[in-house]
Every structure is written in structure tokens, then in C-alpha cells.
Amino acid sequence: MIIKSATFICSNTKISALPIANMPEYAFIGRSNVGKSSLINMLVNQHGLAKTSQKPGKTQLINHFLINEKWYIVDLPGYGYAKVSKSSRENWEKFIRNYITKRESLQCVFVLIDSRLEPQKIDLEFCCWMGEIQIPFVLAFTKADKQSTTKTDQNVAAFKKALGGWFEEIPPSFVTSAEKSVGRDQILDFIDQVNLDFAMPVLTPKTDF
């Protein structure tokens, strides 16, 4: 897939204010500071489209980016950032759940995992929740350039093994590096293939949540 255009469309906390669900969407989510914005910028080859920050928890909205005028990348707030108020965290979690469970045009969720770390409970729990609600998801292991290939392979294998305790079949996975564009072609090819099977969803009346 060749990326010809990538445009910021809107930021929201309410499903009722999102763009009409008439094009395929791919949501990106992970623990705070997992490298989500950097990965999105790498995929679209546009530095600064998704805002990066050294401060975890910066993304607090649902951000829509229209790609090639045909499909959306959706940047979701990171989960698991402790240094926010309990009420703020609960509100974020509520609209994340609402988006994932109610968005008709959502095709797949990219769950980002820091490849430098051993399996983290919060990542495994989020993947299990995705499985429970039967939302298609894939794994994107980030920051592979920060360590040896051997170490990355070990951590990826460990995560898949841990996930195997809950899943009969492990979802597809990609090893990525935003700095070196590792995994870019593979992810875009995956999205391109899914887009081929996109069917216009039957839209339900929007409610204010």
C-alpha cells in the first residue's frame, strides 16, 4: 500500500461526535508510552501527524486520521497510566470501551506491546478482554530497535506463550521499529487485505455517550 495522504480529522470523547462510520477503521492502543504515536507517524510517513510526548498519558481523546481518503487510523488513549485521578481514568476507560464495543466500522484493534519487556499483566488482561468481547485484534511489538533481535524474539515468544493460556489461536503479530520503519510494509499490507472485505455496516442511531 502506498500512503498518498494522511489527514487529522477530529478528536472526541463521545461516539456521537465521531465521523460517520462509512469507512474501515483501525484502532491503535497500548500502555502509555509504548510508542503508539511514533508508530502511527511511521506508518503514514508523516512526522508529527500523531502528537508524540515524553510524558505518558498525553493522549486523552479518540483521534481520527483519514488515510488515502479511504480508511481511518484511530489513536486511542493509552491504558494503565497511574498518575491520573481515579475519576479521569474511569472516564477514559468508559469511552474506550464504548468506542471498541459500539463502533460499527471498526475492523481491527492493534494492541501495542513494548518488545523490551517481559509479559505485563495489564497487556495480557486487555488482550483477554478483547477476546471475551470477540473484537478482532492483532499484536504490534514496538521499539524493536532498542535491543538485540534475540532479546526481542525472546520477549515476543514469552508474550505469545503467556497469551496461549487464554487463546486457542494466537492473533497475528508484527515486530516494529518506528525509527527504522521495521514492520511498516507488513502492517500496511495487512490493512490493505482487510479493506478488501469491508462491507458498509448497518448504522444504528447515535446516542450521546
7, 48 Cβ separation under 8 angstroms: no
Residue 178's Cβ-count burial label (10 Å; 0-12, 13-18, 19+) is buried
Tens of pLDDT, residue by residue over 88-123, are 556 667 888 889 998 999 999 999 999 999 999 999
Q: Which domains does the chain have, with CATH numbers?
A: 6-196 (3.40.50.300)
pLDDT of residue 41: 95
Tens of pLDDT, residue by residue over 124-183, are 999 999 999 999 999 999 999 999 999 999 999 999 999 998 898 999 999 999 999 999
